[in-house]
Amino acid sequence: MGLLENKFKDSIITTTVDSLLNWGQEKAMYPLLLGTACCGIEMMAVGYSRFDVLERYGMLFRFSPRQSDVMMVAGTVTKKMAPVIKAVYDQMSEPKYVVAVGSCAISGNIYKSYSTLQGLDRIVPVDVYVPGCPPIPEAFAYGIMELQKIIAQRRILRKQTGPADPGAQPRTNVDAILRPGHIKLPTAQDYAARLDEEVSSEEKDRLLKASRHE
């Protein structure tokens, strides 16, 4: 909304306009399809005619972050994939929301290894968690309804009331939070900077020996 955002006091006009804008977004969300593992199959089933979940809520899968306002990440997120998901999230326009689908996306599930990200909320702010391994289509529908409730409570034209909840999920710089076991993830730029590097013969021998010991 630009210059009009959080500028007005509560009144019948601003409340009605906020409700209208929120209603428009919650009834026409465009989710970005990010099926990173087996939960992606369940997310595809949600769009099939048997369940028809998306059509019920006015949703349509998009394949570009510039056309989406909801990121649905279904499945395990590896640390190699994390910078890509973060880059895609940054390309989405505000207001944007994130739904973590499945136990692996929420917490890493049983994969407590060096390669698995222990929760999507370590790189992007998550609004709704849909647990399950995998979650059934009805759980998807419940997650969508919970997201609609969050959108319906937004204050767009009206000023924010009171301080933010200290226990609420942070909305910015989530990837910079130093949690237990924090590891700095490489960015897409870090990967790109090493594409043209040549591996020396000594490094090749070292990697070869390491792979044989494994």
As for how many domains the chain has, the answer is: 1
51-88: per-residue pLDDT in tens?
777 777 777 788 888 888 889 898 888 888 888 888 88
- Look up the domain containing 114 and give its range: 2-213
20-39: per-residue pLDDT in tens?
777 777 777 888 888 888 88
> Which residue from 65, 31, 36, 64 is spatially nearest to 143, judged by alpha carbons?
31
State how far the Cα of 11 lies from the Cα of 19, in Å rounded to an integer: 12
The CATH number given to whatever domain includes residue 123 is: 3.40.50.12280
State how far the Cα of 106 lies from the Cα of 101, in Å rounded to an integer: 7
154-188: per-residue pLDDT in tens?
766 655 565 556 566 666 666 666 665 555 666 66
